[in-house]
């Protein structure tokens, strides 16, 4: 196992070659970065929590028919996923104004949006992930018109489902970033679009429904402290870990199969 080939090492995760063709092992590091990696820290236990939280969300999304890369969790820090060709877009869905939206348009942080907004950013660190429109996506061939429609529909379904999931845990889903990829099932010609990467407090804004307290990566970005503790509280409220911090064994409760 130690001789596994590293396919890619990013800021928060390492991708290893998986045990079967078409699979990868996604390893969650404790490394945390913000502001184009100009701010860095190692947060003890963060990777373990994000592995569990992402497993939980992806498995539930599978159960409601949102196709995604997750196959199974392997251990505390690793999960087996389907290898996809990542579409070079960061897809952001927003329910409440915050972060770059507030900064760019002067909309006060915390103001509810009249409807969910879907935004696209070109995934390119050197260019600082610039915002792009449907026109850019079509002109530069990052996604076909059909893929673009699928991505928007899936992003909104993910938003609806996750908003309910977190609301049930007393948490407001303010916004989040997701990524998609093309999956060539059995080498068929037509790829399917799968949700990939991770869904965790690193990639979502999560506010306590009663107090408005931040339970996500903004605690790191804004030097608020208590980052891992907040992530653990998210995991506790979702029923992934117990009060004591120990893991629960039953991550999901659904009757459908897990394709």
Contacts of 206 (CB under 8 A, 6+ apart): 166, 171, 172, 173, 174, 214, 215, 216, 234
**Pairwise CA distance, residues 214 & 196, whole Å:** 25
Q: Measured at CB, which residue is nearest to ligand ADP?
A: 10
Minimum CB distance to ligand ADP smaller for 87 or for 96: 87
Note whether 58 binds ligand UDP by CB under 6 A: no
Among 62, 71, 82, 129, binds ligand UDP (CB under 6 A): 129
Over the range 216-246, which residues count as b (16 or more CB within 10 Å of their CB) and which as e? bbbbbbeeeeebbebbbbbbbbbebbeeeee
Helices 145-167/46-63 angle, 10° precision: 110
Note whether 175 binds ligand UDP by CB under 6 A: yes
CB-based contact 251:59 (threshold 8 Å): yes
> Residue 205 binds what, of ligand UDP, ligand ADP, none (CB under 5 to 8 Å, by partner type)?
ligand UDP
Q: Where are the alpha helices (DSSP H) in 127-217?
A: 134-139, 145-167
Among 14, 49, 84, 92, binds ligand UDP (CB under 6 A): 92
> Residue 63 binds what, of ligand ADP, ligand UDP, none (CB under 5 to 8 Å, by partner type)?
none
Note whether 53 binds ligand UDP by CB under 6 A: no
Q: Measured at CB, which residue is nearest to ligand UDP?
A: 99
Window contacting ligand UDP (CB under 6 A); options: 20-28, 40-48, 94-102, 156-164 = 94-102
**Pairwise CA distance, residues 257 & 37, whole Å:** 39
Minimum CB distance to ligand UDP smaller for 124 or for 248: 124
**Pairwise CA distance, residues 171 & 158, whole Å:** 16
Helices 227-237/46-63 angle, 10° precision: 30
- Residue 101's SS3 state is helix
Minimum CB distance to ligand ADP smaller for 84 or for 97: 84
- The alpha carbon torsion through 82, 84, 89, 94 (nearest 10 deg) reads -20
> Residue 107 binds what, of ligand UDP, ligand ADP, none (CB under 5 to 8 Å, by partner type)?
none
Binding site for ligand ADP (CB under 6 A): 8, 10-13, 15, 24, 69, 81-84, 86, 179, 181, 196-197
Window contacting ligand UDP (CB under 6 A); options: 95-103, 142-150, 207-215, 223-231 = 95-103
**Whole-number minimum distance, CB 82 to ligand ADP, in Å?**
6
**Pairwise CA distance, residues 156 & 234, whole Å:** 22
> Residue 204 binds what, of ligand ADP, ligand UDP, none (CB under 5 to 8 Å, by partner type)?
ligand UDP
**Pairwise CA distance, residues 150 & 132, whole Å:** 17
Minimum CB distance to ligand UDP smaller for 90 or for 233: 90
Residues in contact with ligand UDP by the rule CB under 6 A? 90, 92, 98-101, 129, 175-177, 203-205, 217
């Amino acid at each position: 196992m130690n001789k596994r080939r590293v396919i890619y090492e990013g800021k928060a995760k390492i991708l290893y070659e998986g045990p079967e063709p078409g699979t990868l092992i996604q390893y969650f590091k404790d490394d945390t970065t913000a502001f184009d990696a100009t701010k860095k820290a190692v947060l003890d236990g963060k990777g373990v929590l994000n592995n569990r939280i992402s497993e939980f969300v992806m498995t539930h999304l599978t159960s409601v028919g949102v196709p995604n890369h997750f196959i199974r969790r392997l251990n505390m820090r690793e999960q087996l996923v389907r290898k996809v060709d990542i579409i070079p877009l960061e897809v952001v869905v927003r329910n409440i104004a915050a972060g770059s939206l507030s900064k760019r348009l002067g909309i006060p942080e915390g103001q509810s949006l009249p409807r969910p907004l879907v935004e696209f950013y070109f995934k390119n660190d050197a260019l600082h992930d610039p915002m792009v429109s449907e026109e850019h996506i079509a002109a530069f061939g990052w996604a076909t018109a059909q893929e673009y429609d699928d991505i928007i529909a899936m992003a909104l379904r993910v938003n609806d489902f996750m908003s309910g999931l977190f609301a049930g845990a007393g948490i407001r889903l303010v916004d989040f970033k997701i990524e998609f990829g093309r999956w060539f099932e059995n080498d068929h010609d037509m790829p399917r679009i799968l949700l990939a990467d991770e869904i965790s407090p690193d990639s979502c804004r999560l506010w306590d429904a009663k107090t408005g307290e931040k339970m996500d990566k903004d605690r790191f970005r804004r030097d608020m402290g208590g980052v891992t503790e907040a992530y653990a509280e998210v995991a506790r409220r979702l029923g992934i870990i117990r009060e004591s911090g120990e893991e629960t064994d039953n991550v999901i409760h659904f009757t459908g199969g897990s394709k």
